[in-house]
Amino acid sequence: MISSKTFQVEIVTPESTKFEGEINELIIPGVAGEMGILAGHAPLLAMLSPGQLIYETTEGQFPLAVGEGFATVANNKAVCLVDFALRPEEIDIEQAKQEREEALEALKDQGSGSDALRIRLQAANAKLKVSGNA
């Protein structure tokens, strides 16, 4: 049973449901910055940027590196639909470092106006942050 201080969350990728359960708090990487969500939050539809998503249960805080997506909050339930969601142990650190270097090099060549390159860089940085190798 959901208490008045908890709410339901689903974190979904194209491949699977990464997490579904009752949580105390959700921190999402919105395009305008991080947003914290608690039980009873007002209805919300938000675009997500690649970054660190954190959900807190009675067992502790759990970070995920997530890709672009959307989050909805309504009726004491949050749903995050993201391109990818990786737990720290699922992240290939060397690959993430390589992705970051490739994105940085491409940005130097093409300039900072490329949204696709900026998103690639944010995704690589999110993976490294969640893995503890930022």
Residue 2: what pLDDT? 52
Mean per-residue pLDDT of the chain: 93
pTM above 0.85, yes or no: yes
27: DSSP letter: E
CA atoms of 128 and 126, how far apart (whole Å): 5
Say what the pLDDT of residue 112 is.
Answer: 63
Are the C-beta atoms of residues 10 and 79 closer than 8 Å to each other?
yes
Strands 44-48 and 33-38: unpaired
CA atoms of 58 and 42, how far apart (whole Å): 23
- Please tell me the predicted confidence (pLDDT) of residue 3: 60
